[in-house]
Amino acid sequence: MKYLIPLAAGLVASGAAAQDPAPAAGNAEIVKPAPVASPAPEAIETSPDGSIAVRVETDGDGRVSYSVTRRGQVIVAPSRLGFLFTDQRKLDRNTRIAAVTHAKSDTSWTQPWGEWRTIRDNHKEMRVRLMETSALARSYDVVFRVQDDGVGFRYEFPQVAAGTVTNVADELTEFNFGSNGTAWWKPAFLWNREEYLYNRTPLSAVGTAASPMTVKLDGGTHVVVHEAALVDYAGMALRHTTANGFQATLTPGSGAPRVVKTGPWTTPWRTIIVADDAPGLYMSHLMLNLNEPNKLGDVSWVKPGKFNGVWWNMIKGQWSWARGPQHGATTAHVKQYIDFAAVNNIQGVLVEGWNVGWDGDWFGNGNDMNFSQPTADFDAAELQRYAKSKKVYIIGHHETGGSASHYENQFDSAFKYAADHGIPTVKTGYVTDAGQIERVDADGSKHREWHEGQWMSNHYLNVLKAAAKYHVSIDTHEPIKGTGLQRTYPNWVAREGSRGMEYNSWPGKNPPEHEANLVFTRMLEGPMDFTPGVLSLTGQNDSPIESTIAKQLALYVVLYSPVVMAADTPENYAKYPGPMKFIRDVPTDWEDTRVLNGEVGDYVTIARKVRGGRDWFLGSVTDENARTLTVDLDFLDAGRSYVAEVYRDGPNADYKTDARHSIAIEQKRVRKGDRLTLALAPGGGQAIRFRAR
Amino acid sequence: MKYLIPLAAGLVASGAAAQDPAPAAGNAEIVKPAPVASPAPEAIETSPDGSIAVRVETDGDGRVSYSVTRRGQVIVAPSRLGFLFTDQRKLDRNTRIAAVTHAKSDTSWTQPWGEWRTIRDNHKEMRVRLMETSALARSYDVVFRVQDDGVGFRYEFPQVAAGTVTNVADELTEFNFGSNGTAWWKPAFLWNREEYLYNRTPLSAVGTAASPMTVKLDGGTHVVVHEAALVDYAGMALRHTTANGFQATLTPGSGAPRVVKTGPWTTPWRTIIVADDAPGLYMSHLMLNLNEPNKLGDVSWVKPGKFNGVWWNMIKGQWSWARGPQHGATTAHVKQYIDFAAVNNIQGVLVEGWNVGWDGDWFGNGNDMNFSQPTADFDAAELQRYAKSKKVYIIGHHETGGSASHYENQFDSAFKYAADHGIPTVKTGYVTDAGQIERVDADGSKHREWHEGQWMSNHYLNVLKAAAKYHVSIDTHEPIKGTGLQRTYPNWVAREGSRGMEYNSWPGKNPPEHEANLVFTRMLEGPMDFTPGVLSLTGQNDSPIESTIAKQLALYVVLYSPVVMAADTPENYAKYPGPMKFIRDVPTDWEDTRVLNGEVGDYVTIARKVRGGRDWFLGSVTDENARTLTVDLDFLDAGRSYVAEVYRDGPNADYKTDARHSIAIEQKRVRKGDRLTLALAPGGGQAIRFRAR
């Protein structure tokens, strides 16, 4: 026997909409004569320019849903809100809108480093107070921030008493897209820590997706679903439940509740960026605006810059992290890299395998790692002196092998060691399968955590806080997803969290479309340590990389990070003096950024103006198809003349042939208003420095 | 930096196979020079007739996979095996095949009730002993049972020491189908306890599916993935991970591990039924053969039979479960139903709302339910006497509202009450959202469990064991999935676990294709209490049911259960004396069953021979399309003549019009070898009794 439950669209099973004669009630239930559903009360907020509207309503059964429209188009159809708990009744039905408050704000703030110096935060806010009509009478708020480029919302539970523990089993937030479309997505909860190629499938064929998920709705509107300010909470994935609908599902932890909160609590912001096209998605500042301001105060010690490193030879299998005849991190090798950096406007030298702990099987088992004890053949003091004499600094490396507690126990010694040795930035690593982070509690009990679970969301922030005490910045590999926290902790300079250049050394190389996918997917999370610039275009066993040289240069503009590697070896760079000039010239910190064109997974062109300078830089990349793009140079300063130093694909350039090395370098005079034609080879690209005269 | 991990097909993200230039290595990882992968050792077993082959192999990284082929066609491509734990390292890599043993068996056994009296169990078995090559050196077995109609396999951990606790976070078993195809499936983990319409989508568009999932592979081979003998374990759902691939994911519980086992342990059997066509799926005995034999001994007290009940009037909203002027379960009402049953060869009368506890909001909150205290207007002693005098028994009802612990506390009083009142069968209910079962521990702590989680898998069996002590049989509503346990506990006579007739009373009625879907999906789980026979073809507010009268009769043969309801009211049945005769005549226990034809979701025809008798019965149903089917009467006994009592759709019969009531009843002489033509109306059906002369 059953109870009247008016249908919630999000609960029509996938495909049902197409299959059921009566999908609108396909899963309704009944028992007693239906209670008469009073006209659903609702709350509405619009964006400052009125283009986007958010509507919150309750149905006859007291289930709460929100929906999003843009210029009348349904972006998100009514989608339910709610929670499952491990020890109390579901937060779902019998809820009413008890109060609604509206506010608006239009301010600007400054990034200490980034793609834009100044970020405008112009939004309207609606706070909806919800209250259960049942005896439980639980109450909570849902706060919506509506910008002209999207919507963010989060749950807030201000009424929970101090000390009261809330055990969240899962979050029931739905995202029911207004139509079918094409989705670019990566699977969630698989072993490889977000390091998957992006799938391009119909929205209806998505599995369980990690966020961000990028969608081009039928009709062309682009939408990205993600989250902002993931703090002390589990990362959200998107479980496919209906034809075009998804339900949030939180990353598990080792505990029964996926999230445990004490006292009043809030969730991260759930974000929905909406734009006419792919470039519009990239230009959104929604995620950054939803994060808290800088909590570290003066961060002049954070050092944007380029670096090379004792690394690619390991990735190619020629040097080893472990000690022995192949050991990479020797004093001699590092000095060679310092010499190279000093003469190539490269500020840092990364060294991996410099410390004790690499000799065993460290995969998923980093308990031998010592982050303040170098190997005997690595003379830290001498290298610190030598680097300083060349105006170069060492970039440190902490590979935990997933033993996070073991790392936390060494925080102070590890970061003091870095500070004492003039190391401003440390690259961290968590090489173990997703779900296999080792957590050891005070009582000695061991637990297996997920990279994106609540416990690790705290661990990754603990690293930042511990490092900040010593003025050290962090470049996290095998990280948690990026949710804009670099605004709050500006020493979080970069993350990996996707397939970087290293995959081009191995079987299963990144395809030519990869970077054009990344710009409109992974890069929306924030800076990525992709490690571009392998001009030799060869990986392990001299296997060819599916790129042209010009594309390798373009990546320095297209894929943003304040800390960017020149990944190839000094020996290889010596063979490419012409292209090397661009790597020498290109900065890593920007005043302004413009995405001039782009289609997800096909191509993209980005122009950026150097922070505190007059030069502009342009990068353009394509997929496996040759492409000719025209760009208007409207972004250049008016009344100023520039020399465009162009690095373009040369005759017959093609990622599939030896002509992948074909590059043409030329100069031309240009000014604002000129139009440039970019001819990109298959798998190719183009890089331009607009040098102000 | 990374580690060499040769690609596991199951980990290529969905769509990747179609998207990646190098999908075969799309997610490979590397670091040190790759260890040379020695030729993978393998173990192979085939079915008795050699048509099906199972292959187990390990890759260069020591990951174990199995695959299934049938007559050379790949049914299941290499699919990985393994586990995640909450407190120890993943069971995944660095594993070798340590030993392989083979066995074969060909036996038969008898069902105390069922669709077939005798079940043949002809299989070959392969036990693969796996051992980790790492320091952990964990060891386990995977046991494969290979029949000519499919494969079952399970994990066994005989080496775990007594008392040692294993905390399973999730199971990593994969099911990577050999090709794309069409899938019929229901979403898992949604609130409505399996009560969803089946979706028909491309295999590539399945979300997270409950099992069983039925698949028609490109080329036509039919496959069903499900499980057998779900005991003290969490129910398995299928998470879509690759284009045609799925990974097991276990139903959560309130505890951190989804499954907790102490000492040596085994999983349920993972089953893969393979057939040329839909009827072949239904004829498989794989699931029953993988369950343990009857543990209850003499079960002559289990009573197959028909029942009517004080129920449909509540479903229609005319009577109430709660006390008051509309109360249905009054002595007078029940006597009326007893009188009707007595003269219509109906053995039982179900009474819902007979007990104290219904007056409040019992949905998800059944703590007021008392299962041994009738309401004042229900004279249990008098009704027991009256029923007995009419050779009819009462069927009891226990609605828990999801308060499972509250129910367990009353087991003895509840089932003693039933036994004392001559009640051989009890219908149970768990009306609360999935994930909202209330469990109260000895310390008073409350937890929220899932209908298909480990704790509830034990609860549902606890009900059976407690009931068996009092010789009471159970018809579980809002149940756990069916996995063949009725073989082991023959007092588990039926389950709901899908959308039954009740949905035809409400908005969002079952579509005409529903029953043709059920036969090849839900019915593969075992008996379903569908409650057919609503000859009035009207639900709440006289809304029309999308069926013809002849189809309602056919359902008594098509949808199997040893306990079958005549769901309509005596008043309504009085209007249909002709069709009523079939309901009077049809038995509920069978000697033999033949599926004569069928396509999933389109149509199906089934013939069954009465247990211990000579008559055969035939039922045929179609979807929204009219259909003419021819069937050869080869199943009839040779040399015997029969009178076919035919109940067919009458002139202009159509589920969409008032002519849904049009039925023609006629008789003809037939014998083995004759051919019958069945003309089915849109949404129609046909029922035949072959009366032996």
What pLDDT, in 10s, does the model give residues A559-604?
A: 999 999 999 999 999 999 999 999 999 999 999 999 999 999 999 9
Using CA coordinates, name the residue in chain B closest to A183. Answer: B15
Does residue B41 carry a pLDDT above 90?
Answer: no
CA distance A360 to chain B (A): 12
Nearest to B86 among A14, A399, A447 (CB): A447
Q: What are the DSSP E strand ranges found in A163-258?
A: 165-171, 174-177, 181-185, 199-202, 208-210, 213-217, 222-228, 236-242, 245-250
Which residues, 6 or more positions from A100, have their beta carbon under 8 angstroms from its beta carbon?
A43, A126, A127, A128, A129
Looking at beta carbons, which residues of chain A come within 8 Å of B241? 187, 190, 207-208
| d(C-alpha B417, C-alpha B472), whole Å | 11
Residue A57 annotated in active site: no
pLDDT computed for residue B309 by the predictor? 97
Looking at beta carbons, which residues of chain B come within 8 Å of A624? 21
Using CA coordinates, name the residue in chain A closest to B541. Answer: A33
Which residues, 6 or more positions from A635, have their beta carbon under 8 angstroms from its beta carbon?
A592, A594, A596, A607, A609, A616, A672
A677 touches B at CB < 8 Å: no
User: Which amino acid, residue A3?
Assistant: Y
Does residue B531 carry a pLDDT above 50?
Answer: yes
Does residue A30 carry a pLDDT above 50?
Answer: no
pLDDT tens digits, A286-302: 999 999 999 999 999 99
Q: CA-CA distances (angstroms) from residue B356 to A93, B403, B412, B425, B478?
A: 26, 15, 17, 19, 21
For helices A380-389 and A331-342, angle between their N-to-C axes, nearest 10 degrees: 10
* B27–A195 CB contact, under 8 Å: yes
Using CA coordinates, name the residue in chain B closest to A431. Answer: B2
* B19–A200 CB contact, under 8 Å: yes
Looking at beta carbons, which residues of chain B come within 8 Å of A447? 86-87
CA distance A592 to chain B (A): 33
Please identify among residues 529-568 of chain B the ones whose CB lies closer than 8 Å to any CB of chain A.
540, 546
| d(C-alpha B411, C-alpha B417), whole Å | 10
CA distance B3 to chain A (A): 7
pLDDT computed for residue A23 by the predictor? 28
Does residue A41 carry a pLDDT above 80?
Answer: no
Task: Output b/e per residue, A374-406; b: 16+ Cβ within 10 A.
Answer: bbeebbbeebbebbeeeebbbbbbbbbbbbbbb
pLDDT tens digits, B379-434: 999 999 999 999 999 999 999 999 999 999 999 999 999 999 999 999 999 999 99
Average pLDDT (B138-160) is 97
A256 touches B at CB < 8 Å: yes
In the structure, what pLDDT confidence band is assigned to residue A361 with cuts at 50, 70 and 90? confident
Average pLDDT (B8-37) is 31
Query: How high is the mean pLDDT of chain B?
Result: 93
- Name the superfamily (CATH) of residues B502-560+578-693: Aldolase class I (3.20.20.70)
Average pLDDT (B128-143) is 95
In the structure, what pLDDT confidence band is assigned to residue B512 with cuts at 50, 70 and 90? very high
In the structure, what pLDDT confidence band is assigned to residue B242 with cuts at 50, 70 and 90? confident
In the structure, what pLDDT confidence band is assigned to residue B39 with cuts at 50, 70 and 90? very low
Does residue A15 carry a pLDDT above 60?
Answer: no
Whether the Cβ atoms of residue A66 and residue A128 lie closer than 8 Å to each other: no
pLDDT computed for residue B361 by the predictor? 87
Question: Taken in order B458, B463, B467, B473, is the CA torsion positive or negative?
Answer: negative
* A21–B511 CB contact, under 8 Å: yes
Does residue B333 carry a pLDDT above 50?
Answer: yes
pLDDT computed for residue A4 by the predictor? 30
Question: Taken in order A505, A509, A515, A518, is the CA torsion positive or negative?
Answer: negative
DSSP result, B2-21 = ---BPPPGGGSPTTHHHH-S
What percent of chain B is predicted at pLDDT more than 70? 94
Using CA coordinates, name the residue in chain B closest to A256. Answer: B256
Interface probe with B: pick from A11, A20, A136, A350, most Cβ of B within 10 Å: A20
| H or E element at residue A417 | helix A411-420
Pairing of the two strands A305-310 and A348-351: parallel
Please identify among residues 601-660 of chain A the ones whose CB lies closer than 8 Å to any CB of chain B.
624
pLDDT computed for residue A20 by the predictor? 28
CA distance B41 to chain A (A): 23
pLDDT computed for residue B35 by the predictor? 35
* B190–A13 CB contact, under 8 Å: yes
DSSP-assigned beta bridge partners for residue B224: B214, B273
In the structure, what pLDDT confidence band is assigned to residue B475 with cuts at 50, 70 and 90? very high
Interface probe with A: pick from B3, B4, B29, most Cβ of A within 10 Å: B29
pLDDT computed for residue B8 by the predictor? 30
Whether the Cβ atoms of residue B584 and residue B344 lie closer than 8 Å to each other: yes
Pick from B114, B516, B115, B52: nearest CA to B271: B52
Please identify among residues 187-226 of chain B the ones whose CB lies closer than 8 Å to any CB of chain A.
187, 189-192, 195-202, 204-208
* A252–B169 CB contact, under 8 Å: yes
pLDDT tens digits, B582-631: 999 999 999 999 999 999 999 999 999 999 999 999 999 999 999 999 99
**Where are chain A's structural domains?**
15-289, 502-560+578-693
A/B interface, count of CB pairs below 8 Å: 263
Task: Locate A529 and state its tokens.
Answer: 């340590």
Using CA coordinates, name the residue in chain B closest to A310. Answer: B1
| d(C-alpha B286, C-alpha B266), whole Å | 18
Looking at beta carbons, which residues of chain A come within 8 Å of B475? none
* B30–A201 CB contact, under 8 Å: no
Looking at beta carbons, which residues of chain B come within 8 Å of A401? none
* A448–B169 CB contact, under 8 Å: yes
CA distance A196 to chain B (A): 6
pLDDT tens digits, B173-214: 999 999 999 999 999 999 999 999 999 999 999 999 999 999
CA distance A662 to chain B (A): 23
Whether the Cβ atoms of residue A136 and residue A87 lie closer than 8 Å to each other: no
Nearest to A15 among B13, B199, B255 (CB): B199
Task: Locate A91 and state its tokens.
Answer: 């937060």
In the structure, what pLDDT confidence band is assigned to residue A178 with cuts at 50, 70 and 90? very high
Whether the Cβ atoms of residue A394 and residue A346 lie closer than 8 Å to each other: no
Task: Locate B485 and state its tokens.
Answer: 């346990």
In the numeric block, the tokens 């006994």 are attached to: B637
A511 touches B at CB < 8 Å: yes
Using CA coordinates, name the residue in chain A closest to B91. Answer: A436
pTM of the model: 0.88
Looking at beta carbons, which residues of chain A come within 8 Å of B34? 317
Catalytic residue among A115, A452, A502, A515: A502
pLDDT computed for residue B31 by the predictor? 32
In the structure, what pLDDT confidence band is assigned to residue A242 with cuts at 50, 70 and 90? confident
| d(C-alpha A691, C-alpha B438), whole Å | 70
Average pLDDT (B435-450) is 96
Whether the Cβ atoms of residue A90 and residue A63 lie closer than 8 Å to each other: no
CA distance B90 to chain A (A): 7
CA distance A22 to chain B (A): 5
pLDDT computed for residue B6 by the predictor? 29
Q: What would the CATH number be for the domain defined by B15-289?
A: 2.70.98.10
Q: CA-CA distances (angstroms) from residue A632 to A131, A613, A628, B147?
A: 54, 21, 14, 69
| d(C-alpha B546, C-alpha B683), whole Å | 7
A14 touches B at CB < 8 Å: yes
Question: Taken in order A568, A571, A572, A574, is the CA torsion positive or negative?
Answer: positive
In the structure, what pLDDT confidence band is assigned to residue B13 with cuts at 50, 70 and 90? very low
A679 touches B at CB < 8 Å: no
Does residue B15 carry a pLDDT above 90?
Answer: no
DSSP state of A312: H
pLDDT computed for residue A544 by the predictor? 97
